[in-house]
Amino acid sequence: MEQNVLTDTNLVGYGEKYVGKVRDVYRQPERLILITTDRHSSFDRIIAHIPWKGQVLNQLSVWWFDQTKDIVPNHVIAIPDPNVTIARVCTPLPIEAVVRGYITGVTDTSLWTHYAKGKRDFGNFTLPDGLQKNQKLERSVFTPSTKSDTHDQTLSPDEMVASNIISRGLIDTIEAVATALYERGAAVAAERGLILVDTKYEFGIDAGGELMLIDELHTPDSSRFWEASSYEERFAQGMEPEYFDKEFLRLWFKEHSDPYRDETLPQAPADMVEELSRRYLSIAERITGEPFEPGATPILKRIADNISSYAVH
């Protein structure tokens, strides 16, 4: 059978390889070869490979980078292949720039969790009493967190400056840029009948000292999307919004394994993997308004051909 899933890469002559959860990154002095694979992570490990997910994430990010380049420069140099971005090497800033337009979430770090426990003063903003879960905020809020291997910590900009994580000038700039990016993203999503609920940006500093948007942008892995058409009615009835859902796959693993402990995991059911693939494709098609065109297979061979001019020697 044709290989139609990109699990990992092992390219020689393209620089030092760094393996992220989703991306394989080949580092050269001035540029990175960022290959977005089909790996799907959860519980801090790879739980499945989702056909076309890497292509979807790469192309959707590229699309958004183009839509927002008037707000802030980004790391994109070239896209030689559907799964590959040639990017400017930057020094990543040690924060995740999170912007939220709605109060939601169930995890420890989510805004709704803090609010439900009574928190109103978040340092750089306060929230009024009486908000309901999933309610739209009067204006978006900036809730940056530290980047850490163990667990990300939400800190206010003042706390970040006080802890010497980032300078005052830089965090203020990032807040302004991230807010503008969120507003642009939300406006574009709204034209497509989608709500951009919240999102996470990564920034870096390039060799010339300039602030750059890096990594990925407004993808279902970095952002939450809800269906706009049913939001109001469902919110009024106390129902959860219709959302882009990959939770079903997480739940399956929770039911069929101990994903934080088991050395090897069972294989996800093929129909669930296909369903998730369809969801990634369809949300990307909705956002961009362009039909998804699968790249040629085998993917790895195609990538090797397409990036050959970026070899280091």
Ligand X SMILES: Nc1ncnc2c1ncn2[C@@H]1O[C@H](COP(=O)(O)OP(=O)(O)OP(=O)(O)O)[C@@H](O)[C@H]1O
For binding to ligand X (CB under 6 A), which residues are involved?
20-23, 25, 32, 75, 87-90, 92, 202, 204, 214-215
- To ligand X, the closest distance from the beta carbon of 42 in angstroms equals 12
For ligand X, which is the closer residue by CB, 114 or 224? 224
- To ligand X, the closest distance from the beta carbon of 155 in angstroms equals 19
For ligand X, which is the closer residue by CB, 8 or 227? 8
> Which residue matches tokens 């109060």?
103
Q: Do the Cβ atoms of 152 and 109 come closer than 8 Å?
A: yes
- To ligand X, the closest distance from the beta carbon of 134 in angstroms equals 26
Residues 6+ apart with CB under 8 A from 26: 11, 14, 15, 16, 17, 18, 32, 33, 35
Nearest residue (beta carbon) to ligand X: 20
Rounded to whole angstroms, how far apart are CA atoms 240 and 219?
Answer: 21
Reference 37, options 201, 151, 26; nearest CA is: 26
Query: Running DSSP on this structure, what letter comes out for residue 154?
Result: B
For ligand X, which is the closer residue by CB, 52 or 231? 52
Query: Running DSSP on this structure, what letter comes out for residue 279?
Result: H
For ligand X, which is the closer residue by CB, 86 or 141? 86
- To ligand X, the closest distance from the beta carbon of 256 in angstroms equals 24
**Residue 29 CA to its chain's centroid (Å):** 25
For ligand X, which is the closer residue by CB, 8 or 242? 8
- To ligand X, the closest distance from the beta carbon of 221 in angstroms equals 8
Rounded to whole angstroms, how far apart are CA atoms 90 and 212?
Answer: 8
Q: Which helix (H) or strand (E) holds 211?
A: strand 211-214
Q: How far is CA 172 from CA 105, 142, 152, in A?
A: 25, 10, 20
Longest dimension (CA), the chain: 62
> Which residue matches tokens 């997910």?
53
For ligand X, which is the closer residue by CB, 44 or 232? 44
- To ligand X, the closest distance from the beta carbon of 67 in angstroms equals 18
- To ligand X, the closest distance from the beta carbon of 98 in angstroms equals 14
For ligand X, which is the closer residue by CB, 88 or 279? 88
Q: Which helix (H) or strand (E) holds 157?
A: helix 157-162
